[in-house]
Structure 1
Amino acid sequence: MLIRFTVENFLSFNERTDFNMIASEEGRHPHHVVKKKSENEISLLRSSVIYGANASGKSNLIKAMAFAREFIVEGIEKKKAVRVEPFRLDKGNFKRPSRFEFEFRYKGKQYAYGYSVDRSKVHEEWLFEFGHEIEVAIFERKENHIDFNFEHDAFSNISEDDKQRLRYEAKGTRDNLLFLTNCEERNITYLESVYEWFDDILNIIFPRTELLSLPFFIESNEDMEKFFKGILEWFDFRIKNIKIEEIDFENFDGIPKQLKESIRKDFLNDHEKKGIGIFSDRQGVNYVFKKDEEGILRVLRLTTIRSDKDGQEVLFEISEESDGTRRVIDLLPTIMALRGESVFIVDEIENSLHPLLVRGLFDLVLNNAMFGTSQGQLIASTHEVHLLDIKHLFRKDEIWFIEKDRHGQSHAYSLAKTNVEDLDLIKGYLNGRFGAIPFIRNTKELGWED
């Protein structure tokens, strides 16, 4: 679970800015909190929404998380410049590294991992395990030197030869590469659970992000169809069921011939007996191509099933569904993953969705029994004011605001820091009570009127 993210000198964040998922002492909606199991742990929230005007920096906060994660997971080629973007409204910042840190809980341990980097090299990198009033270093890097705490249980039973190898790999880590990333590339397993959290657990979705296709997900998880059917009923789309059809690739005419030939070559020239790929057409409809064990190429096509007035089933192409219905269907694998321990951070979650669907999504994840023991987290930026409901939907500590000051710097703060018990939140927000809204001048002041 994500505990805290910190960013400094990146995009519109000049000074250190913290965003956290730590539960306050608030008593409202206690089932939204994953309670700490010991004094060494922290009680954490399962969801959060982030508000702010256009260009306030709310998307920049998510971009900061995305950059920090990508640099860890993807690494960088030798001699390439790091694509870090410092705060540009302070000339001195180009000489100052950008700083990122994640605090998270995974496999029963709480970690703080972070680094500072400019366009040429990593200046600092650190990994700590922490608990109640304790913090123990696992490794610390300053420029090209890395110190290890071999007493930590991450290195339990490490031999002297392996210590020497670890020091050797540390010394050989390129200036522009993180040591954690180097460990993954060099198959060094002592820190693999930390890397795994970033690679497998933390997921960041932007409006244009290609989501895992539902046919792919169902094909890989045969017992999931019942779950997806229940979700569609929850949203009341009048969809009776979903169906995955297998079509022989040679008989499939849904894509241009030239592209079809390219796909045929790519798949059939692949030496692997089995394989799966995804293609999106101009309408945004995903098709999954599957090469079976016999090397035969097939297309998996998703259709929806509705009932006509006589109760007879009628099949619909997914392209015939509304943008909102298709968006929810695209999000179904994400919703399913939230039953586990995945962390999903979504920019502009209301994209193509009706306000009531957005509310219904959070209501489902937070209040439906199937998510009752979940440690998954859903964090989203939004403009949707109807989510500002601390009586029926959210706790105060689940609502955050991002606001820019007159120097162009973004700042983050939680509603939990304000006294709003008797306030109409929607009216207060739109009236600027919490900042984080656009300032729109009177058109008369702009000289547009005679």
Structure 2
Amino acid sequence: MLIEFRIQNFLSFKELQTFTMVKSKSSERPGNAFPIMAEKEFSLLKSAAVYGPNSCGKSNFLKALSAMKGIVTTTLQRGMKLPLTPFRLNPETVTQPTEFEVSFIVRDVKYQYGFSASADQIFDEWLFAFPAGRPQKWFERVWDAESGKHLWKFSQFLQGAKKLWQQSTRENALFLSTAVQLNSEQLKPVFDWFSKTLRFVGTEGLSPESTARFCTGSGKEDVLKFLKAADFNIEDIRIEEKHLPTEPTYEINTVHTDSNGQTVLFNFRDESSGTQKFFSFAEPILDVLANGSVLCIDELNVNLHPKLVQFLVELFHDPKANPKNAQLIFTTHETTILNQEIFRRDQIWFGDKNREQASFLYPLSDFSPKKGKENLELGYLSGRYGALPLVRSFYGVQ
């Protein structure tokens, strides 16, 4: 379960930005949040939507979280570059490190983990745990520029071969990842949160492969149910697995019924782009709902009818569909779902840019609510909350 994510100096983000899934004190739509057993008087949101104009940093926000996951879970050989690009429109930030920090919950324990790094090396790294709400600093790694070396601090709370793990950690590698590779069972739940709990769709394109693979196992009936619930007239799915030297690929065919009640086979490429996208969503959405994971989707609305976007969001709000409190975080331009019948105000976020062209994030809950029910869609499109493109006359542009 994701609590909070902090970004600084990454792509279009210059200053420190904090995105939180913590429920505010508002009593609106209580079913859209769930209490946490790890701490008292603490609840998290089941979903969050990020709005804003094109090129405001919405996708970069998800890319930042995805980059953090990639650095944690990918082993690089010595000398290989980390996938980090600092804010390039300021001469100072170009030479400064990127910083990520995330807070999350695993097995009723809160963790706070982060690091700063450039494309060439890790500078700082830290991990706190909060069993029963009590803070414990497990380790800290601090770069000393004068000596050109790291200073290390380990607490009694972290068990295992700490010296060996430290000595085995390369400049472009994280201590967390190295320790888990060298069999640290205590740190494995933290690593697994990144590798198994945190999932992404759309940040690097969309592929039907995972859903096709899911259909070859035990998931076919669930995928068909998912498609039929959204009014796609698909009676069956037929998957042929083709083994290649690198990895298997799948030929996907859908089965429809003609006016005479006969089955007609369609190649997946002949289906509409919306059908293809919805099919590609099936496995990741069904997986995170079944396991209580976190799913991040970039541009959820593209090629989908507004009612289908609403259907996907409300799956996460429905306690029957989402009994393990999975979380959905997505970027979108779809404003028809921007209303208080679907969202709490603290579930709505906006991305925008300042005069320096640096991205920043802020929630709708920063704005004072109007009395009674507020037309959030109208308020947004009329400019009340900002985060709109400043469109000028084509003939007035110099």
Q: Same fold (TM over 0.5)?
A: yes
The structure-2 alpha-carbon separation of the partners of 1:232 and 1:12, relative to structure 1 and needing over 3 Å to count, comes to same
Query: Following superposition of structure 1 onto structure 2, how do residues 5-404 of structure 1 map, counting pairs within 5 Å?
Result: 5-37=5-37, 39-40=39-40, 42-130=42-130, 134-143=134-143, 144-150=150-156, 152=157, 155=159, 162=160, 165-205=161-201, 206=203, 208-220=205-217, 222=218, 224-239=219-234, 241-246=235-240, 266=245, 277-278=248-249, 287=250, 301-339=251-289, 340-367=291-318, 369-371=320-322, 373-390=323-340, 392-404=341-353
1:377 CA displacement: 1.1
- Code of the aligned partner of 1:33: A
Contact between 2:38 and 2:109, CA under 8 Å: does it hold in 1? Answer: no
SS at match of 2:71: helix
The structure-2 alpha-carbon separation of the partners of 1:211 and 1:137, relative to structure 1 and needing over 3 Å to count, comes to farther
- Code of the aligned partner of 2:354: D
Contact between 1:338 and 1:375, CA under 8 Å: does it hold in 2? Answer: no
1:216 CA displacement: 0.9
SS at match of 1:357: helix
Q: Deviations over 1:318-341 (max 9, x none)?
A: 222111011111111012112222
Match of 1:412 among 354, 361, 381: 361
The structure-2 alpha-carbon separation of the partners of 1:112 and 1:404, relative to structure 1 and needing over 3 Å to count, comes to same
- Higher-Rg structure is 1
1:357 CA displacement: 1.6
1:381 CA displacement: 0.6
Q: Deviations over 1:167-187 (max 9, x none)?
A: 132133112211011123333
Equivalent pairs counted in the alignment come to 388
- Code of the aligned partner of 1:319: R
The structure-2 alpha-carbon separation of the partners of 1:207 and 1:118, relative to structure 1 and needing over 3 Å to count, comes to closer
Correspondence for 2:146: none
Contact between 2:12 and 2:358, CA under 8 Å: does it hold in 1? Answer: yes
SS at match of 2:252: strand
SS at match of 1:370: coil
Q: What are structure 1's unaligned runs of at least 5 residues?
A: 156-161, 250-262, 268-275, 279-286, 288-300
The structure-2 alpha-carbon separation of the partners of 1:198 and 1:406, relative to structure 1 and needing over 3 Å to count, comes to same
1:444 CA displacement: 4.3
SS at match of 2:99: strand
Q: Which runs of 4+ in 1 moved over 6 A?
A: none
The structure-2 alpha-carbon separation of the partners of 1:382 and 1:126, relative to structure 1 and needing over 3 Å to count, comes to same
Return the TM-score normalized by structure 2.
0.90
- Code of the aligned partner of 1:383: H
Return the TM-score normalized by structure 1.
0.81
Q: What are structure 2's unaligned runs of at least 5 residues?
A: 144-149
1:40 CA displacement: 4.7
Paired with 2:268 and 2:83, the residues of 1 have a C-alpha distance of: 38
Contact between 1:207 and 1:351, CA under 8 Å: does it hold in 2? Answer: no
1:58 CA displacement: 0.9
Paired with 2:286 and 2:119, the residues of 1 have a C-alpha distance of: 38
Paired with 2:151 and 2:40, the residues of 1 have a C-alpha distance of: 31
Identity of aligned residues (%): 31
1:219 CA displacement: 2.1
